[in-house]
Structure 1
Amino acid sequence: MKVLIIGGGQVGSYVANILAKHECEIRVIEYREEILKKLRQEFTSDIIIEGDGSDPLVLEQAGIATADVVVAVTGADEVNLVTSTIAKYEYGIDRVIARVNHPKNEWLFTLEMGVDVKVNQAELLARLVVDEIDLKNILTLMKLNRGEYSIIQMNVAGGAKADGAMIKDLDIPEKFTFIAITRNKQVLIPKGDIQLLAGDHILALSDDDSQKVIQKLLG
């Protein structure tokens, strides 16, 4: 997979290192000399593209025409937004991910502007504080459908409402679907007459709102 990263600061370089370890083909665009010096210590010269990530000529030089994913993570929202729009509508990039630095600008980062996934760090921190979901018991394995649905893994806790109950007797949200149940190293196909037990490992497809409901049943 070919990934073009706009912004080589702390976030951009961290993302680049992770993707490189997963054998992705990466390019990093950066214009600040002090950041470029650090990048040159971590990556080979063919990975680093010097220039403005919102400049179409620089994007062309970095190979955006053949990129699978564009990740715009500069510290300037306007650059991330312009780059996203160019990537989506000029080059037809399938997946465009953009960083939101200032929460007040989040409303601009939409599908219409070319952003498939927006990462708002302030919102993520707030969710950690106010979200009812027990993050220790729900592990998000994969985001689907532009982030609306997730494949999640969770456990049935002892004394939970679902402990000892059959699936058909639980008030399961419409947007939640059991995929598999693992019990004592055996995989069970989730059917209505399957009884859930404490310690069961659940693999499921769910939207964010349904996760809150399910947490109350299983947690």
Structure 2
Amino acid sequence: MRVVIAGAGAVGASVARELERHGHEVAVVEVRPDAAAKTDVGGAAMVLGDACDLGVLREAGTLCADVLVAATGDDRANLVASLLARSEFGVRRTVARVNNPRNDWLFDESWGVDVAVSTPSIMTALVEEAVESGDLVRLLRLEAGGAALTEFRVPAGHWLRGRRVGTVSWPLEAPLLALVRDGAPRPSAPDEVLEEADELFFLAAAEAEAALRRLLVGPEADQPRRAAVDGAEAGAPGAEPRGEDTDQASHSPSA
């Protein structure tokens, strides 16, 4: 597999080294000469230039790439690089880093992004998953926001306790994938009886998540509570992303 990575900061360089060790052909694009000269990207090729420039992306082999990873510290650069990779080079899959959670709403298919990765959102979800019981927690957004992996831990006294999986009217577009009991995965078979503290994992379409929340949490939970995972919905469209010293600074136009 051929992968082009925009940004040779800590994130981009780590991804490049890991992919290269797994036998993939990797090229890294970095706009800063000092970073390009000093950063360890393993056996990956280093291309000096702006990842928002068509000529630079072409030099990096984006025309033949299977995946583009936009991993700079500038959300605008990541959006533009993803859009160019999809629209100008026909890259099949794009993965983009979200630096500012308030900009998460921009990272969708309209900007050519297949998978948006937000470290604050992931960390928030993991914290909530570890401590929350009785609420629906979105763990990971998949395929440009079309679906999300969500988790629900059955609390004491919940109506699910003692019910068989097959007797529950789960939303059609939010199937129960699996459950975890005492740290061990179990199949979500129709005859499986649910118990307190069971962790239920769903793959929910965006339009079915509210119905799933109403089913599990109650009608008063029609609106998801504000959290970093859902923070994109509350973010201001004009939010200005901040770059990081460790990643590529973009000369691209504002998104």
* TM-score normalised by length of structure 2: 0.62
- 1:64 alignment partner, one of 62, 65, 71: 62
Tell me which residue corresponds to 1:94: 92
Runs of at least 5 residues in structure 2 that lack an aligned partner in the other structure: 219-255
- Superposed CA offset, 1:151-199 (max 9, x none): 56776566543221123444533432123557797965622x5422346
SS in 2 for 1:146: coil
Q: Which structure is richer in relative contact order (CA contacts within 8 A, separation 6 or more)?
A: 2
1:43 paired with 2:37, answer: no
1:195 paired with 2:175, answer: no
* TM-score normalised by length of structure 1: 0.70
Count residues with an aligned counterpart.
Answer: 208
CA displacement at 1:18 relative to structure 2: 3.6
Runs of at least 5 residues in structure 1 that lack an aligned partner in the other structure: none
Tell me which residue corresponds to 1:17: 17
d(CA) in 2 for partners of 1:99, 1:186: 30
Deviates more, 1:142-151 or 1:74-83: 142-151
Task: Map 1:6-155 onto structure 2 (within 5 A).
Answer: 6-40=6-40, 42-44=41-43, 46-102=44-100, 106=104, 108-120=106-118, 124=121, 128=124, 134-136=128-130, 140=139, 144-151=142-149
CA displacement at 1:25 relative to structure 2: 2.7
- Superposed CA offset, 1:116-174 (max 9, x none): 2334556x27x82xx7x94128795x754434324567765665432211234445334
RMSD: 3.8
Conserved 8 A contact 2:30-2:36: yes
SS in 2 for 1:176: coil
CA displacement at 1:8 relative to structure 2: 0.6
- Superposed CA offset, 1:72-130 (max 9, x none): 122333322322221111111122222344566555544223222334556x27x82xx
Distance 1:78 1:151, change over 3 A: closer
Distance 1:189 1:121, change over 3 A: closer
CA displacement at 1:62 relative to structure 2: 1.2
d(CA) in 2 for partners of 1:71, 1:103: 18
Conserved 8 A contact 1:178-1:190: no
d(CA) in 1 for partners of 2:38, 2:49: 15
CA displacement at 1:7 relative to structure 2: 0.5
d(CA) in 1 for partners of 2:55, 2:196: 58
